[in-house]
Chains A and B, each alone.
Chain A
Amino acid sequence: MANLLRKKENNTFIIGSPYFIWVVIFIVVPLIMIFYYGLIDRNGNFTLENIAAIAQPVHLKALRLALWLGVIATVICLIIAYPLAYILSQTSINRYGFVVFLFILPMWMNFLLRTLAWQTLLEKTGVINNILVFLRLPPLNIINTPAAIVLGMVYNFLPFMVLPIYNSLLKIDPNIINAARDLGANSVKVLQKIIFPLSLPGVISGITMVFIPALTTFVISNLLGGSKILLIGNVIEEEFTHAGNWHLGSGLSIVLMLFIIVNMIISSIFDKTGEGNFL
């Protein structure tokens, strides 16, 4: 018996080993390197300066802006995604996953290309403004503003909000809703007391999946925000590329990671069952 068990454990280990190697090379080692670089200075001595550097006004401003835009983008995604997911979960046209498929379709195209497309659309003499001018409407000036960045975030991350909510709504047994109606609840009460609370794991999962990439993005802010608007992601990227200060870049990354960890702890408290996970 003990032999059998050990054999089984061995098998699990062998089957899991490619994943294990992957995790070590691409997740554990880079993490260790970030902490290593983040906690020493250029001379190789231990220091907390790189982390404390977040307190510098320019860094603090970038972090605050990233948090703020991330929150706005997440809220907008939630407002758009919840009704959408609800409608999708109710309709029979989606029996073959067609609508969900339409949603995933753009995700097959490169993220960078999609964001570049928005740049062309939003430019001062871009497609949208040409149409507006043609219709004798005032042109939009949102390229290179925070609004354009939020738009890019919402556009890119909306599916990550819709899918977990859709999934958790789909899991609600129709008889649970029937039972609530049977006990006297009208549609509003059913939504408020049954459907929304039961879909909360999906909502939390969606919030995490939108907020974290929004908080850390530098591509969207680069392409749609011009070089004027710096998010914390841009600052870190600059340190690694142009400034060549890996120590400062790593230190700021550690700070950013703290925010992500806090977010994930909050979501794991709500999402005990892992219901909202769809990946």
Chain B
Amino acid sequence: MNFNNQKPLIHLENISKSFDGQLIIDELDLQIRENEFVTLLGPSGCGKTTLLRIIGGFETPDTGKVIFDNADITHLPPNKRPLNTVFQKYALFSHMNVGENIAFGLKIKNKPADYIAEKIAYALKLVNLDGFEKRKPDTLSGGQQQRIAIARAIVNEPKVLLLDEPLGALDLKLRQDMQYELIRLKNELGITFIYVTHDQEEALTMSDTIVVMNQGYIQQIGTPEGIYNEPENAFVADFIGESNIIDAIMIEDKLVEILGSRFACVDTGFGKRKPVDVVIRPEDVELTSKEAGTLEGVISHLIFKGVHYEMEVTAGGFEWLVHSTGMFPVGAKVGIKIDPFNIHIMHKPESEDEEAVSIEALEEQS
């Protein structure tokens, strides 16, 4: 789906926020369109949850504006905003049963009793928990509680649903099931989801648009494919999936020197003899016989991962991570070959600020 044609719904303008003198979000701009599944993705402390809380009304930005449907809602309290939140640890009302929890928002708005009853039944059906009205939240499993939290939010028919790491407390299998549930829900409801997570797989699976954040800056905005295949900088490349990120020199258009060897590539417009970062995904590194490769190396590690083998190859003084269905034994001399389409060239970070950000983050990751 192309979201460029959709109407913009939320506009964040020049948002900054600091806590105790520490800058959490730095002059951030972001547009979110109607009916979009947007994921704010980043490591802990990157400002993604703070940004969500600013949209939800639980924090006020130090500078900047939150525009919703052309109206400035920056200083509107949460109870007056036309959006609802699903909190990280469910935040169900333990003194009420499931039905009362779901009815809470509707009762506040003085909706008639039969309308409320209808809505509860509809919402419980939607989250596959029919007949749970009378249960107390503490008798439910984590996954069920999360579904109730979602049901409680959506009965209010918000235009936007904010989800703050809603699957963080669930185990892996349940988390995967809930990912499909959330996609289905979003399609059935036809509303905008803004989803916060630090789990890149979750983000890639569910999102229409991913906003990669680090240390208060947006690093890249794009579709899951775009973010994965065309990362804009080393941080994004490293955070999303596994990758080999190597210092290189762009000799000229379509030719790059990596670790002393020249590789054909498809990127242009970087200038001549410019230092760049190169990203090569482990599944894109081809291992061949010593003679057939562009670069020569030795296998230093070999692990069987089920779907593929994971190998580490020392070549040109760099430890290459390689995923392949074929294997070479440890100590074998191999050649490294890379398809020009699979070499992704990135600009080196320009400002010192950005550089500090990405290097620190990379160290943290490894």
Contact = CB atoms under 8 A, between A and B. Distances in A.
Contacts of A194: 93
Nearest to A201: B95
A184 B109 contact: yes
Contacts of A184: 79, 105, 108-109, 156
Contacts of A178: 56, 58, 78, 85, 87, 91
B244 interface: no
A176 B77 contact: no
What is the predominant secondary structure among interface residues of chain B facing chain A? loop
Interface in B40-61: 56-58
Interface in B144-191: 149, 152-153, 156
B85 A182 contact: yes
A79 interface: no
Given A184-B109, A185-B108, A179 B91 contact: yes
Nearest to A196: B95
Contacts of B58: 178, 181
B102 to A, nearest CB: 10
Interface string B71-101: 0000001110100110111011111000000
Interface residues of B, number: 25
A180 interface: yes
Interface in A152-177: 173, 175-176
A178 B90 CA distance: 11
A13 to B, nearest CB: 33
A198 B91 contact: no
A92 B156 CA distance: 33
> Interface size for chain A: under 10, 10 to 19, 20 to 34, or 35 or more residues?
10 to 19
Interface in A48-75: none
A183 B88 contact: no
B108 A189 contact: yes
Given A182-B84, A183-B108, A185-B108, A176 B78 contact: no
Tell me which of A182, A185, A193, A194 has the highest count of chain B C-beta atoms within 10 A of its own C-beta: A182
B263 interface: no
A276 to B, nearest CB: 14
Contacts of B87: 175, 178-179
A176 B104 CA distance: 12
Given A183-B152, A185-B108, A175 B93 contact: no
A181 B156 CA distance: 13
A182 B92 CA distance: 12
A231 to B, nearest CB: 37
Contacts of B77: 181, 186
Given A173-B89, A175-B88, A181 B95 contact: no
Given A175-B91, A181-B57, 18 more contacts: A176-B92, A176-B93, A178-B87, A178-B91, A179-B149, A181-B78, A182-B57, A182-B78, A182-B81, A182-B84, A183-B108, A183-B152, A184-B79, A184-B105, A185-B108, A193-B104, A197-B95, A198-B95
Interface of A: 173, 175-176, 178-186, 189, 193-194, 197-198, 200
Q: Which 7 A-B pairs have the closest CB atoms?
A: A183-B105, A179-B91, A175-B91, A184-B108, A181-B78, A175-B87, A182-B85
29 contacts: A173-B89, A173-B91, A175-B88, A175-B91, A176-B91, A176-B92, A176-B93, A178-B58, A178-B87, A179-B87, A179-B93, A179-B152, A182-B56, A182-B57, A182-B78, A183-B79, A183-B84, A183-B104, A183-B108, A183-B156, A184-B105, A184-B109, A184-B156, A185-B79, A185-B104, A186-B77, A186-B79, A198-B94, A198-B95
